[in-house]
Every structure is written in C-alpha cells, then in structure tokens.
C-alpha cells in the first residue's frame, strides 16, 4: 500500500495569498527586481487560459516546496509487526498419532506443521523464523518476511530429525540466537512441546535467562494429555519470560492457542530512519518550468 504525503504541508498556506494576488494585483510600471513579476497580471485576464496556466505553475511551485513523498508500506522496512520465532518439538514422541483425545490419523508433528504454517501465513506484518529441537536444536529458517518460504520449509520438516529426546533449553536458546540480529522493538519466542526436558547442555532456566537478557517474550505451549509434558516447567518459563503458558489436548484447542497468540501487540520493525519513501518534488518543478517556458514563448510570439 502506498500513501501520498508532504514533508512540509504547511507550505500550502502561502498558496491562497499568492493566487489572490495573481487575480487582483496590478503591475506597477517601475523598475522591477522580481524576474517573473509578469505572473501577477491584471485581473481582467483571470478567466483566460493564460491565467489558468499561471495559477497552475504557481501551484506546482508551492507543491514542490511542500515536497511530495510516497511512503511504500508494502516495503519490509515500513511494516508494523514483531519478530517471532516458532520453536517446535521434533522429538520421537511427536510421531504419536494425533493427540490422545483426537481420532486423527495424522501424527502430532504433522498437525503442528499444519497449524504452525497457517499461523505463519496470518502474520502478514511480521518477520518469522523456525527452530526445531530434539536432542539438539537448529534453525530451520532464519527470521524473515518470506512467509511462503517459511510455510514450505515447515512442510519439509520431520519428527526425529533433531534426535529422539527433548532438549527444551536448547530449543529456547537457539531461538534467542535466531533473534540476535533483530531490530524489532517486540520479539517473541513461541515454544511448543509434548514432552519433558531430558536432554541438551543448556537448562530451561539458563535459556529463559538468555531470553530475558535479550528482552524476548517467551510463550510456551504443552500439547497432549496432562502428565505427558511438564506443565509446571512450561508455566514457570512463560512467567519468567514475560509471556503466557498454554496447553492443548487436541487439534482444535491447539489452533485456538495459536489464534490467541495471534492477538499479540505490534510495533515498528524498523526505526523511522529506515522508512522507505520516494520524493516527487522534481516532477512538480519540471511541470512548473515547462509552463513558464511556454508562457514566455507565447509572449515572445505575441510581441
């Protein structure tokens, strides 16, 4: 979306008096120091084509002074949003068929892939990245605005590709690393798991401390029946991380959790100094110059 604006819109305040003078002021027959005083012709000619062109030339000059700009809000540098990293559990337990209360034949990981992809595509104004963890964690996609690529990459992931165990601390720590170059004022990690922390060199407490230091908000989601995942740990991590803890026992509840997280606050991704805009004052100047040249040529032909 493109928005037209002016850097110095107050410059148009001088336009009415100038046009009024152009309509009413008479040329005084004495030495002139203003090179284009002929613009301010006598009022008897105000209705003719020449006067209209003079008025247009003055308007274009004032418009150029006001400096017209176009702000391109489709440009990534002008989007409103937050930087989000989805940290997804891809341990062996995610190969279980659906949730305990579901009749779906899809595995938990396949259900998460579908819902996470839908979530990514809805975050139109945000940058999103994906981290996968099991015995270890890795960045599946860097934080980027290319939603189609992220959704496609999520579809290529598979359970067990990072090992069979559950290193929750590694999942958060790697997500923090994925956000290290983020310039967003608001940064979020959404961690999803169906198990308990039982692997990795970084503890969940250490990982949360890393997120706190980087001013990253942490949301946690536990999926499956009560007792399958460490709800107390996930709730504590969310509290310490400034976010919220959610649980889901079926696909419908998990979708509702992501829909609720979708209501997160939004902020500028980039600072104002990186706002992408394009000036168009040169076109107004060119238009005014052409009219002045035409009027000069017309006077010379008449003379």
Is the entire prediction scored with pTM above 0.85?
Answer: no
Label residue 265 by pLDDT band (50, 70, 90): low
pLDDT given for residue 45 in this prediction: 46
pLDDT given for residue 277 in this prediction: 60
pLDDT over 50 (residue 213): yes
Contact 176/216 with Cβ under 8 angstroms? yes
pLDDT over 60 (residue 84): yes
Label residue 9 by pLDDT band (50, 70, 90): confident
pLDDT one-digit tens code per residue, 12-55: 788 888 777 777 765 555 554 545 545 545 545 444 677 788 88
Edge to edge, what strands does the sheet with 242-248 contain? 137-144, 127-133, 83-89, 187-193, 216-223, 242-248
pLDDT over 50 (residue 269): no
Label residue 273 by pLDDT band (50, 70, 90): very low
Give which of 77, 276, 73 is closest to 184, Cα–Cα. Answer: 77
pLDDT given for residue 271 in this prediction: 40
Pick 299 or 91 by higher pLDDT. Answer: 91
pLDDT given for residue 43 in this prediction: 46
Label residue 90 by pLDDT band (50, 70, 90): very high
pLDDT given for residue 135 in this prediction: 95
- Residue percentage of the chain with pLDDT more than 70: 79
pLDDT over 80 (residue 207): yes
pLDDT over 50 (residue 272): no
Pick 87 or 299 by higher pLDDT. Answer: 87
pLDDT one-digit tens code per residue, 129-162: 999 999 999 999 999 988 999 999 999 999 889 9
């Amino acid at each position: 979306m493109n928005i037209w604006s002016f850097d110095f819109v107050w410059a148009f305040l001088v336009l009415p008096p100038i046009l009024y003078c152009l309509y009413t002021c008479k040329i005084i027959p004495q030495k002139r120091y203003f090179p284009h005083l002929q613009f301010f012709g006598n009022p008897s000619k105000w209705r003719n084509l020449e006067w209209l062109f003079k008025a247009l030339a003055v308007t274009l000059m004032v418009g150029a002074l006001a400096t017209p700009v176009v702000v391109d809000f489709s440009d990534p540098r002008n989007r409103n949003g937050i930087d989000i990293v989805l940290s997804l559990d891809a341990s062996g337990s995610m190969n279980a068929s659906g949730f305990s209360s579901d009749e779906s034949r899809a595995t938990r990981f396949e259900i998460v892939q579908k819902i996470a992809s839908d979530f990514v595509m809805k975050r139109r104004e945000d940058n999103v990245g994906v981290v996968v963890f099991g015995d270890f964690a890795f960045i599946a996609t860097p934080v980027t605005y290319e939603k189609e690529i992220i959704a496609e990459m999520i579809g290529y992931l598979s359970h067990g590709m990072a090992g069979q165990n559950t290193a929750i601390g590694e999942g958060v720590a790697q997500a923090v690393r994925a956000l290290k170059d983020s310039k967003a004022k608001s940064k979020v990690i959404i961690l999803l798991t169906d198990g308990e922390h039982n692997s990795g060199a970084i503890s969940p407490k250490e990982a949360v401390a890393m997120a706190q230091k980087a001013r990253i908000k942490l949301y946690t989601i536990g999926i499956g029946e009560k007792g399958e995942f460490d709800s107390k740990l996930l709730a504590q991590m969310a509290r310490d991380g400034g976010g919220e803890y959610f649980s889901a026992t079926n696909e419908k509840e998990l979708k509702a959790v992501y829909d609720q997280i979708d209501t997160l606050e939004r902020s500028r991704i980039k600072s104002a100094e990186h706002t992408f805009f394009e000036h168009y004052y040169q076109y107004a100047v060119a238009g005014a110059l052409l009219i002045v040249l035409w009027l000069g040529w017309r006077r010379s032909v008449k003379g």
